[in-house]
Structure formats: C-alpha cells, structure tokens
Amino acid sequence: MDSVTNHTINITSQNKTWLFVPATRIDRVAKAFASGADAVIVDLEDAVALKDKADARKALQQYHDSADYQAIWVRINKAGSESFIKDIALCQQMPNLVGVILAKCETPSDIEQAYQGSGLPIIALIESAIGLYHIDAMAKVSGLVGFSYGFLDLCNDLRVQVGTPAADITANQIRYQLVLISKVYELAAPIDTVYPDFNDEIGLSARVQLWSQMGMSGMLCIHPKQVAVVQQALKPTDKALSFAQRVVEEYERSGQAVFEIDGQMVDAPVIERSRQLLAK
C-alpha cells in the first residue's frame, strides 16, 4: 500500500460525517462545510438527472478552479456507463479532489477503472447483491480506501421489505460483512448508509449508536441538520469516560494485568478499549 493511499485511509477513518451536495446546487458546498461536516461529497450520480449531468460537471469544474474551493469528494456514476467515462475525464482535470465515491460498485474491475482513470482514492459504494458478493475480491484492489453501501438499493435487489425487522437483520449482516472485510484488508472502517428521514433526530441518534458500536467509522448524510445529530450521538457519556480514565490510570499505576474497578473485572481487552475511547 503506497503512502498516499495509507494517508487517505487514515483521514477517511477520522471522518464521521459525510454530507452529500448535488452538483446541480454547487452553491450549497460552502453551507455544507459550515454545517461542520467532516467531508463533503458533490454528487454527480442519483441527485442529478441525466439531462442535467453536463451542466453539473461544468459547475463542479468551475467550483474546483475557483478561489472558493474547499477539498471535496465526488460521487461518480457506475463504471462502464457513458456518464462514468465523462465523470472520469472530469476528475482528471480536478487534481485537488480528495477522492472518488464510486456508485453501484460490483467488481474489482470497477474499482480498477475508476482508480486508473482518475488517479484518486476510491470508496466503493455497494448497492447490489453482486457487489456485496464481491467485496472480498474488491478489497484487494489498489486505490480502494474503504466501503459504504446504499441500503435502499440493496433491499430492492434482495427483495427485502424496508422498514421491517427483516430489513434490520439484513442491514446488520451487511454492516458486519463490511466491517470484517475492511479490518482484514486494512481499509478504513466502513461508512454507514444514509438515514432518509432527516427530521427524525431520535431515530438517527439511535442509528448512529448502532453502527458505531458495530465498529463503523462514519455515516453518509443527506441534510446539513443531520451533521450535528450524528456528532452528538457519537460523544461518549461522562460515565464511560470516567470509567475509562480510571482503568488507564490504575493500569499505569499498578502495572497489574488484571484488577477490579466498580465491581467489574478489568483485563487486557478492557484496558485497550478504554485507551481507544480516551484517544477519540
């Protein structure tokens, strides 16, 4: 793995909130950054109608070349499509992009085409059964820094009914697979899918706590108001921080491999988890 890719993996792992902005509304990029989002993704894919894609590319190019430019990611269209070819050609003219979100990624070849064509780090967006089936093979491809997924598209492809307990089981299975493969191949921890109801702060907060507890690194956001909710939900409680602090302090004081705090046995995994929590 080259140093540039490794650096991008580290940065990607630190990004908790990934906010989409349609390329047809490039004026919203500044507002997206002002929301506090860790990363902004300008979308050339689903958020842009086919008839508007040429104008959207032109607007993105103009923004990239302007004095107002802030480093962004760009979501491009599916590999092999006519729009993909045009998107890659555009990326070649925008060297200051952070990286590419590749929509509807299904094979290692998709990633190879995007990486070789753009020269930019790739996050593969898994949106079909075929794509999910091939994540192990895709994880080995040069240029890939991480995975995310489009749950609604996956549900349609798998014929899973959205909003049911069955859908929740499926989502957690997908999360587990992506977390496992990402860890094995030393990619950034995966990014969770969008939460469609941007007015449901309670539901969004619960979702954030779920994916973060499963070991995922961040979340795709579709509205600026979701950014603060995600960031707040990721904050550890004072109780958790206090316990972690006492664990580390006692370990450093005593040097014991096993000890007790508040009636709970503490050993190596608990010490490591406490260090990770304090490091965040």
Domain shared by 110 and 248, yes or no: no
In angstroms, rounded to a whole number, what is the distance separating the alpha carbons of residues 96 and 71? 7
**Whole-model pTM?**
0.88
Domain shared by 227 and 260, yes or no: no
Render the burial of 43-69: b for 16+ CB within 10 Å, e for the rest: bbbebbeeeebeebbebbeebbeeeee
Domain shared by 127 and 165, yes or no: yes
Domain shared by 107 and 207, yes or no: yes
Domain shared by 141 and 43, yes or no: yes
In angstroms, rounded to a whole number, what is the distance separating the alpha carbons of residues 9 and 187? 6
Domain shared by 271 and 176, yes or no: no
Domain shared by 176 and 270, yes or no: no
Domain shared by 21 and 143, yes or no: yes
Domain shared by 116 and 227, yes or no: yes
Domain shared by 227 and 168, yes or no: yes
Q: Could you tell me if residue 81 is left (phi over 0), alpha (psi between -120 and 50 degrees) or otherwise beta? A: beta
In tens digits, the chain (280 residues) has pLDDT values of 665 577 788 778 889 999 999 999 999 999 999 999 999 999 999 999 999 999 999 999 999 999 999 999 999 999 999 999 999 999 999 999 999 999 999 999 999 999 999 999 999 999 999 999 999 999 999 999 999 999 999 999 999 999 999 999 999 999 999 999 999 999 999 999 999 999 999 999 999 999 999 999 999 999 999 999 999 999 877 788 888 889 998 888 898 888 889 888 888 889 988 888 888 7
Domain shared by 171 and 51, yes or no: yes
> Residue 237 has what pLDDT?
78
Full domain range(s) for residue 245: 238-279
Domain shared by 132 and 224, yes or no: yes
Total structural domains within the chain? 2
The one-character DSSP state at 197 is -
By the 10 Å C-beta count (0-12 exposed, 13-18 middle, 19+ buried), 199 is classed as: exposed
In angstroms, rounded to a whole number, what is the distance separating the alpha carbons of residues 215 and 200? 23
> Residue 3 has what pLDDT?
59
Provide the CATH number for the domain around residue 185. 3.20.20.60
